[in-house]
Amino acid sequence: MTDKETLRAQWAAYAADWIDRIRQDRDVSRVALLDDAMLAAVGDVAGKRVIDLGCGEGRFGRMLAGRGAEVLGVDLQPLFIEHATASRVGAEKYLVGDMEELEGIPDEAFDLAVSYLSLVDVPNLAAALAQAARVLRPGGRLVACNLAPMATAGSGWIRNGRGEKLHFELDRYFDEGPREYSFPPSRTRITNFHRTQQTMVRAFAAAGLALEDYAEPRPTPEQCRRWPDIADIARVPLFAIYSLRRHVR
């Protein structure tokens, strides 16, 4: 298991690059595909109390606040929280915290929890989901977008002699645990955690979160024409959105 200090150090080293990437809309998967899919999944948030788990630099929290939500964003990286606080669009709040613990956050305080590509960064999935369920009111919802298990187990594209993509290589699917990736432009090494779909679904159930919907966002032909960089997602499901509800006692 990768220790928490290593994860903090990795993201501290990459934080400035990540903030620039987000500020300049260079994360094309989010801009072209996932933002719309996540906003559709959360639905009307006006007047709702929302906790953004692993909020990063606050981008999605700002979207939700702009739609009338009362937002609290939590992230382990202080540089992200500093940027999020300075970039607020309303009364949203951001604090340094661990989504595996959520220390100081009361029980049953939120109508909605969101995790936008943050569960893949969490070493202890069970702890993070237990905390998400704890801070949700009974009947409250968790909407979690994560890298699809196929993507976290994937080894990239197999190409022919002309460099054309033939198929996506999937290997070591059942070997769960940390896997490091290089992130541009600095090639900083970041740890993600691969888990099978079985592990994900059973972890939700164990936390008392009932799966209500499951989506694999896929770009339309028009989106692929407008943003050619996401065309691969029309061939391989790289993302998954889980819509869950906390059991009512």
Query: pLDDT tens digit string along 177-195?
Result: 999 888 877 789 999 999 9
pLDDT tops 90 at residue 199: yes
pLDDT tops 90 at residue 100: yes
Which CATH number do you get for residue 78? 3.40.50.150
Mean of pLDDT over the chain: 94
Range 128-134 average pLDDT: 98
Range 122-138 average pLDDT: 98
> Is the pLDDT higher at 248 or at 25?
25
Its pTM surpasses 0.85: yes
In a domain, residue 117? The reply is yes
In a domain, residue 188? The reply is no
pLDDT of residue 187: 84
| Per-residue tokens: 210 | 């009932």
Report the candidate in 143, 139, 137 with the shortest Cα–Cα distance to residue 54: 143
In a domain, residue 118? The reply is yes
Range 223-240 average pLDDT: 93
In a domain, residue 172? The reply is no
CA distances to 78, 100, 178, 193 from 124, in Å: 20, 7, 11, 9
pLDDT of residue 249: 67
Q: Which domain holds residue 65?
A: 4-148+195-246
pLDDT tops 90 at residue 41: yes
Q: Looking at this protein, which amino acid is placed at residue 95? A: L
In a domain, residue 175? The reply is no
Structurally, how many domains does the chain consist of? 1
In a domain, residue 81? The reply is yes
pLDDT of residue 186: 78
